[in-house]
Amino acid sequence: MNQWLNPIKGKVLLIDDEAVVREIGCEMLEALGIRCIPASNGEEGIEIYRQNKDAVELVILDIEMPGISGDKVYNILKEIEPNLKILLISGYAKGYLEATFFKKKLDPSIFMPKPFQLEQLSLKLKSLIPA
């Protein structure tokens, strides 16, 4: 069995405005042994996190969303819990996000380009969620 297929335990909040990304993302997470809580926008994601913050190990967050954009959701979540691990996902390149949204360099360990494969997701989660 490939090492990336070893089950990961935990609960992940997936915030993305695209239903197909939420659906496939949750299926991938569940295949890895992770419970997925989907949220369709930033406001919903923030509220779900507030209600489940003791159980959520990681937030997977899209950046480009209507309403509250992902960079603002990121900052709000970090205000609620400064040690929260957040994996940023986007169809845009990391450099574009750094220049346009964050105005600073992002640690490559917290970014994953869309679309992504199960193996990529597994390896990224193993680096972010403690065993």
**In 3D, which of 50, 60, 65 has the Cα closest to residue 18?**
65
Q: What is the pTM (predicted TM-score) of this model?
A: 0.91
- CATH code of the domain in which 76 resides: 3.40.50.2300
Identify whether 71 is part of a domain: yes
Mind listing the pLDDT tens digit for each residue in 66-112? 999 999 999 999 999 999 999 999 999 989 988 988 888 888 889 99
What total of structural domains would you count in the chain? Answer: 1
Identify whether 3 is part of a domain: no
Mind listing the pLDDT tens digit for each residue in 9-39? 789 999 999 999 999 999 999 999 899 999 9
CB atoms inside a 10 Å sphere around CB 118: 15
> What is the rounded distance in angstroms from the CA atom of residue 117 to the CA atom of residue 121?
6
Residue 104: per-residue pLDDT: 85
Identify whether 109 is part of a domain: yes
Token pair 């972010």 is found at: 128
